[in-house]
């Protein structure tokens, strides 16, 4: 196949409401079907099992909302980004929407050394938000979780890079920036699960978990 006119396009999409519970691999499957329905001129991989050439971002943990999920697709010819934005959304299930369609930066698809991820955490009461601030803000915070049948111990360390609280909002919001994908650091998914565990019965006061930005390092 002549790929001289190949072009790539980056699509940013959101997952909210019930779509938060669609797993990463199922999301990929749904997006591939949506791209086929649009008859997009995507390039396919070579080999036995041909697939559209798509690069997806870091998996979103199950149950987390997001407004910064991304994938980059290789196309045989350019398509109108506005047309794609308007039509792709109609091919996605309830709770998924297309936020932005744009040209990727030249080095966008290169290998990354971890991610800088920003989350918004919403709390129905200030007291729980304050406990969460203390949990996340302390590099000495440690927790254990089951991983592949074994109990593993983790320490937050410098995984949480910055954190601020918007007390006047309802729900009370915490904006926290995490580094993940680096040796020795627990993933955001593990940290938030540990936070919820630490809140015990108050965990239902954690009413919003949303990834709002993801930058590859």
Partner 1 sequence: MNKITDKITHWEWLKIAKPARYMGGEVNQTEIKTNPQLRVCLIFPDLYELGMSNLAIKIFYEILNNQPEIMAERAFSPWVDLETLLRKKGLPLFSLETATPLNVFDALFISLPYEMTFTNVVNLLDLSNIPIRWKERNSGPLIIAGGPSAANPLPVSTIMDAVLIGDGEEAIVEICQKLLQGKSSGSTISETRKSLKSIEGMWVPQFPDKVKRRIFTDFSKSTPPEKLLIPNVQTVHNRAPLEIFRGCVNGCRFCNAGFYYRPKRERNVDCLAQSARRMLENTGEESLGLLSLSTSDYSQLPDLVSKLEENKIYPEQKISIPSMRMNENTIKLLKNHKGALTFAPEAGSQRLRNIICKNVTEKDIFDVIEATRDINYRTLKLYFMMGLPFESQDDLDAIVELVKKIEYISKKMKPRKQISISLSGFIPKPFTPFQWCKQASMDELKNKRITVNQGLRNTRARLSWRDEYLCMLEAVLSRGDESVSELIIAAHKAGCRFDGWNELFNRAGWEKAFKELNFEPEHFSQQFSLEKMLPWDFIDFQVPRSFLESEYQKAAEIAGESIS
Q: Which of 32, 72, 116, 212 binds partner 1 (CB under 8 A)?
A: 32
The region of 26-34, 118-126, 146-154, 171-179 touching partner 1 under the rule CB under 8 A is: 26-34
Place of tokens 């601020």: 164
Burial class, 184, CB count within 10 angstroms (exposed 0-12 / middle 13-18 / buried 19+): exposed
Determine how many CB atoms are found less than 10 A away from the CB of residue 189: 17
- 105 belongs to the binding site for partner 1 (CB under 8 A): no
Q: Which of 8, 9, 13, 34 binds partner 1 (CB under 8 A)?
A: 34
Question: Distance between CA 83 and CA 201 in Å, rounded?
Answer: 47
- 204 belongs to the binding site for partner 1 (CB under 8 A): yes
- 35 belongs to the binding site for partner 1 (CB under 8 A): yes
Question: Distance between CA 157 and CA 145 in Å, rounded?
Answer: 16
- 36 belongs to the binding site for partner 1 (CB under 8 A): yes
CB 176 within 8 A of CB 192: no
- 25 belongs to the binding site for partner 1 (CB under 8 A): yes
What is the closest distance, in whole angstroms, from the C-beta atom of residue 93 to partner 1 in the complex?
A: 5
Determine how many CB atoms are found less than 10 A away from the CB of residue 132: 25
Bridge-based pairing of strands 172-180 and 54-56 is: unpaired
User: Which residues, 6+ apart, have CB-to-CB distance to 183 below 8 Å?
Assistant: none
Q: Which of 37, 83, 147, 164 binds partner 1 (CB under 8 A)?
A: 37
- 52 belongs to the binding site for partner 1 (CB under 8 A): yes
In the stretch 55-94, what mask flags binding to partner 1 with x, by CB under 8 A? -------xx---------------------------xxxx
- 215 belongs to the binding site for partner 1 (CB under 8 A): no
Cis status, amide bond into 172, omega within 30 of 0: no
Point out which residues bind partner 1 (CB under 8 A).
17-19, 21-23, 25-26, 29-30, 32-37, 39, 44, 48, 50-52, 62-63, 91-95, 196, 203-204, 206-207, 209
């Amino acid at each position: 196949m002549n790929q001289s006119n190949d072009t790539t396009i980056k699509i940013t999409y959101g997952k909210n409401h019930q779509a938060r519970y669609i797993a990463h691999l199922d999301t990929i499957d749904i997006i591939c079907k949506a791209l086929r329905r649009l008859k997009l001129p995507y390039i396919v991989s070579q080999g036995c099992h041909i697939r559209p050439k798509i690069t997806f971002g870091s998996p979103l943990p199950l149950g987390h909302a997001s407004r910064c999920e991304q994938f980059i697709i290789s196309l045989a010819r350019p398509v109108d980004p506005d047309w794609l934005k308007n039509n792709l959304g109609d091919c996605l299930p309830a709770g998924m929407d297309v936020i932005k369609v744009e040209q990727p930066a030249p080095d966008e698809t290169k290998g990354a050394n971890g991610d800088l991820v920003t989350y918004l955490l919403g709390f129905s009461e200030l007291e729980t938000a304050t406990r969460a601030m203390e949990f996340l803000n302390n590099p000495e915070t440690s927790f254990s979780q089951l991983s592949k049948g074994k109990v593993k111990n983790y320490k937050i360390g410098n995984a949480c890079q910055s954190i601020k609280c918007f007390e006047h909002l309802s729900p009370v919001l915490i904006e926290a920036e995490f580094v993940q994908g680096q040796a020795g650091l627990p993933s955001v998914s593990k940290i938030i699960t540990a936070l919820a565990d630490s809140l015990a019965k108050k965990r239902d006061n954690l009413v919003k978990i949303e990834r709002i930005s993801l930058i590859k390092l």
